[in-house]
Amino acid sequence: MVYITQDMVRRRAEHNECEIFSLEEVSLHQQDIERIEHIDRWCRDLRILYLQNNLIPRIENLGRLKKLEYLNLALNNIEVIENLEGCESLQKLDLTVNFVGCLSSVQSLQHNIHLRELFLVGNPCTEFDGYRQYVVASLPQLKWLDGTEISRSERIRACQGLQEVTRHIWEQENEYLTRRAREKEEAQRKAAGQEKGNEERKPGFDSRWYTDINNTVPGQNQEVEEDTKPKTTSPDLDKEQREREFWHTPCSFTPESRLEAHRHLQEERRAEERRTKEKEQEKRPRTLITDDGRVLNVNEPKLDFSLTEDEDSNTVVLDLAVYRHMDTSLMDVDVQPTYARVTVKGKIFQVVLPAEVKPDSSTAQRSQTTGHLVLTMPRAEGEIKVTKRVPRPPRAHEDRCSSSPQDKTRNKNAPERLEVDPSKHTAIDLTKIVPHQSAKAGPLEVSRMAPPTPAGHSGSSAGFVDDPDVPPLM
């Protein structure tokens, strides 16, 4: 059973910024609603109300809608016109194709003094003799009945023979109500029989399992009469036979038969949904990436696409021809360095990219004119390569300074520098700025640019030998 909820009304109030308290028009048609409720409290300013093509059995909970001008209740299960006295502004009432058999109930509309149009086409009461004359005479405020204008002369003639027409209408109405009571009893008896039959048709209802006949022990007597053998039929053929029997069996046009047809369609819809879910569960998932890590190209939604490289902006562009009117919430985009994946309504589109891209810098946009999905993926600037670590050659100064075992251990634990190109090393060796004297030589040589010595002292130390081959210091 479907109930009227605030979410249902709010979804149809988009033009009013989802505010329901100030709504003036709401459409709740084709919702399988079985009862009118809450609308008179939530939407007090309502002027137009559409409730056609539902399963509403009676008119109720509309008396507080003082501003209601148009009420559409066509294609429902209404049998009596009632509870509309409070709708003071009602001007048009549509009850097309309902089950109104109590024609005398139209007199309840006499309080709706602004009522101008009434539609009762397709109701059992329209088959009564004197139907139009009775309605025209009972509702003097009407201007149109079933889409036909009521003339002044027609109204005068209807009022002249109203007493005789009323008596005749009551007789036909009593006959209809008697027939309607029998139809209700028959519908209840049929429903009870169907429930009982469903229980009896369960396996083992007759204290015997049909599968035991085929599983008899070899050597035993397996002769079975033809009428006792179970008939094996295909499930599809059995289903088609039941469908044909249900829809081709004659039945009276009653609210019960309409509800039965509706329930049957709901069961078929649920069964189809169950079968679809089972097929989806049984369906083996498609392989997107192989075991060895190779990415596959997949196009389950069968969409046109173009994959191009923009050299100017150094990007890879994927243009996917998504359906123009598809909601963006039905799509999911996943960009990886070597491939791009787009899920469209549960179907996967995957393509291998011609170059490595940056997923974090990628963008996804939707065209407002064509609806295409455009992925712009910047290419990576270059590949990161790790060079080999080349040990630095030992130096004489380090050999002298790191002669102790503790120093050698400390040097081994120190991190090595990673040189981009060892052949281009141009670092300055600070240990060779001042040359050292060899082991056999004397003290360090004094530069010729040494500061001048005081008077009375020699500029050279003892044992100094002037070598002419050595160039002077500048």
Q: What residues contact 300, with CB distance under 8 A and at least 6 apart?
A: 286, 347, 348, 349
Longest Cα separation, the chain = 165
Tokens of 380: 């990576």
Q: pTM above 0.95? A: no
The lowest-confidence range among 50-64, 145-159, 305-319, 378-392 is 378-392
Q: Could you tell me the fold of the domain covering 6-176?
A: 3.80.10
- Residue 188 CA to residue 191 CA, distance in Å, equals 5
Contacts 24+ apart (CB under 8 A), 25-31: 25/49, 26/50, 28/4, 28/54, 29/53, 29/54, 29/72, 30/54, 31/2
The DSSP-derived string for 86-136 is T-TT--EEE--SS----GGGGGGGGG-TT--EEE-TTSGGGGSTTHHHHHH
In this model, does residue 74 exceed pLDDT 60?
A: yes
Residue 298, SS3? strand
What is the percent of the chain where pLDDT is above 70? 72
Left if phi > 0, otherwise alpha if psi is -120 to 50, otherwise beta: which for 146? left
pLDDT for 216: 41
Left if phi > 0, otherwise alpha if psi is -120 to 50, otherwise beta: which for 314? left
Q: What residues contact 394, with CB distance under 8 A and at least 6 apart?
A: none
pLDDT for 210: 45
The model's confidence at residue 449, banded by pLDDT at 50, 70 and 90, is very low
pLDDT for 213: 40
* pLDDT tens per residue across span 84-111: 999 999 999 999 999 999 999 999 999 9
What's the rounded mean pLDDT across residues 179-191? 86
Cβ 337 vs Cβ 283: under 8 Å? no
* pLDDT tens per residue across span 28-71: 998 989 999 999 999 999 999 999 999 999 999 999 999 999 99
In this model, does residue 459 exceed pLDDT 70?
A: no
Produce one character per residue of 345-375: b if its CB has 16 or more CB atoms within 10 Å, e if not: eeebbbbebeeebeeeebebeeeeeeebbbb
Going by C-alpha positions, the residue among 88, 80, 81 that lies closest to residue 64 is 88
The lowest-confidence range among 49-58, 235-244, 390-399 is 390-399
* pLDDT tens per residue across span 246-303: 777 777 778 888 888 888 888 888 888 888 888 877 766 778 888 888 999 999 899 9
Cβ 68 vs Cβ 47: under 8 Å? yes
Q: Calculate the average pLDDT of the chain.
A: 79
Going by C-alpha positions, the residue among 125, 127, 193, 136 that lies closest to residue 161 is 136
Q: What residues contact 285, with CB distance under 8 A and at least 6 apart?
A: none
Query: Is pLDDT larger for residue 222 or for residue 12?
Result: 12
In the block, tokens 């097929």 appear at 279
Q: What residues contact 268, with CB distance under 8 A and at least 6 apart?
A: none
Q: What residues contact 183, with CB distance under 8 A and at least 6 apart?
A: 252, 254, 256
In this model, does residue 1 exceed pLDDT 60?
A: yes
Neighbouring C-alpha atoms within 13 Å toward the C-beta of 99: 20
In this model, does residue 439 exceed pLDDT 50?
A: no
- Residue 459 CA to residue 343 CA, distance in Å, equals 92
- Residue 340 CA to residue 355 CA, distance in Å, equals 12
Tokens of 228: 């006792």
- Residue 78 CA to residue 94 CA, distance in Å, equals 12
Left if phi > 0, otherwise alpha if psi is -120 to 50, otherwise beta: which for 197? alpha
Q: What is the CA radius of gyration of the chain?
A: 48
Its CATH class, for the domain covering 298-378, is mainly beta
